[in-house]
Amino acid sequence: MPAIAVIGAQWGDEAKGKIVHFLCRRADLCVRFNGGPNAGHTVVDAHGEARLHQVPAGALHPHCLGVLAHGVVLDLWALEAELAELAGQGRPPPRLLLSERAHLILPYHRRREEREGAAQALGTTRKGIGPAYADRAARRGLRLVDLFHPERVEERLRAEDGEEAAQVLAELLRLRDRFSPAVGDARAALAHALRAGQTVVFEGAQGTLLDLDWGTYPYVTSSPTTVHGIPWGTGVRVEFAAVVGVAKAYTTRVGAGPLPTEERGAVGERLRESGREYGATTGRPRRCGWLDLVALRYACAINGFTHLALTKLDVLSGFSELKVAVAYRWGGRRREDFPSSADELFHAEPVYETLPGWGEGIAGVRDFSALPKAAQRYVRFVEEFVGVPVALVGTGARTEDVIVRAEILGYT
């Protein structure tokens, strides 16, 4: 069965871009179904480092069609800039299909985000994503298809942009004409591809713990980030051959919200520097800490992961010992489960298990048996604790820096 879901298992930035790019080496379609240009998926290949915000990571392979399904919110200005940047790296233009039902992010969404203070309070990426999804739910959004019926667009822009409306409209119509060959019925194309037995990789943006419903509400993003976002954001029902959860070997988070295993001192600093933990979209330093297995087990339960990709294991080299959270303590009691309330999570203190570290660098290792015994033990501890096999282990930023432990559709 050729459908694979790739889902962030933590608070985003888990290296989904690299894992998706790896899994798409033989895929026909790569589909973004949620979020917008707040994603910052990094791929390092022969052309250099690509920072992808809207272009699906698989679409860097010339054989793979990148689909932006209707669940994403689309910033056409940003998409144009992103394509120009990729071209500047000498890459062939990605093949894209943009759902005509996708909602547009417009300049007034960014303004509203600043004005309403969400950017400051939640630490959002300031790209207008939240306001665009809010307009969609409030039934006053504009979709790509509306650009082919500009009267309604003009009316909305006049209400929002005042004197600048004419200029914004002219820009939008230019972008419409530029992208119109790529605009179409993404649901129908996807359903057809799945029926025809083509290999489809669904590329989640952000992570499970930022999901609108399953994340640490209200410190979340404004779309579904879990596997349940796939039917929501594409309109197709999929039998997945694999649902791959991507988790870093430690924990990071950008923006506000609870993070029980956060290390504010030397450990956090070291993870940040070794892991280059600065936002791909915003450049902000990420908050860093030990791996939280309570949170990861919860993400496994929400998504029904069949496999895990444990990324950036190489960043843990050189620590004499490594901690992993196996429970929380709050209200004087030990808790095994991830709470529904962010307030409770703010007060949760991690209960740690300490595992031996390893001194050797493991960058670029591609064979599990070539890892130091302590690194092997760390990986095994994770999979045994959460009950999901770690199929892929990341040992470096390049797409090929990966250990394949279990066969996923013959991707060995």
Residues at the contact surface with ligand GDP, assessed by CB under 6 A: 8, 13-18, 40-42, 44, 276, 280, 311-312, 314-315, 394-397, 401
Shortest distance in whole angstroms from residue 34 CB to ligand GDP: 13
Record the tokens describing residue 185, joined without a space.
């019925």
Pick between residue 115 and residue 366 the one whose CB is nearest to ligand GDP: 366
CB 278 within 8 A of CB 360: no
* Nearer CB in complex with ligand GDP: 15/300: 15
Annotation marks residue 13 as catalytic = yes
Tokens representing 197? Answer: 């037995």
Question: Between 136 and 248, whose beta carbon lies closer to ligand GDP?
Answer: 248
> What are the tokens at 347?
């007060």
> Any catalytic annotation for residue 109?
no
Q: Which residues contact 69 (CB under 8 A, 6 or more apart)?
A: 31, 32, 33, 99, 102, 186, 187, 190, 233, 234, 235
Q: Do residues 401 and 394 make contact, with C-beta atoms less than 8 angstroms apart?
A: yes
Distance CA 90, CA 332 (A): 58
Q: Which is nearer to ligand GDP, 50 or 144 (CB)?
A: 50
Catalytic residue (choose from 21, 28, 41, 103): 41
Residue 142 Cβ vs ligand GDP, minimum distance, rounded to whole Å? 27
Residue 86's nearest CA partner among 95, 94, 76, 78 is: 94
Q: What angle do CA 302, 312, 342 make, to 5 degrees?
A: 40
Q: 38 near 26, Cβ under 8 Å?
A: no
CA distance linking residue 270 with residue 289, whole number of Å? 10
Q: Name the residue whose CB lies closest to ligand GDP.
A: 394
Of 124 and 142, the one with the shorter C-beta distance to ligand GDP is: 124
CB 136 within 8 A of CB 73: yes
Least distance from ligand GDP to the Cβ atom of residue 381, Å: 18
Of 14 and 160, nearer to ligand GDP (C-beta) is 14
CB of 72 to ligand GDP, least distance (A): 15
196's torsion region: left (phi>0), alpha (psi -120 to 50) or beta? alpha
Distances (CA, A) of 289 to 251, 300, 370: 5, 20, 26
Query: Per the structure block, which two tokens stand in for 291?
Result: 């791996």
Among all residues, which ones are annotated catalytic? 13, 41
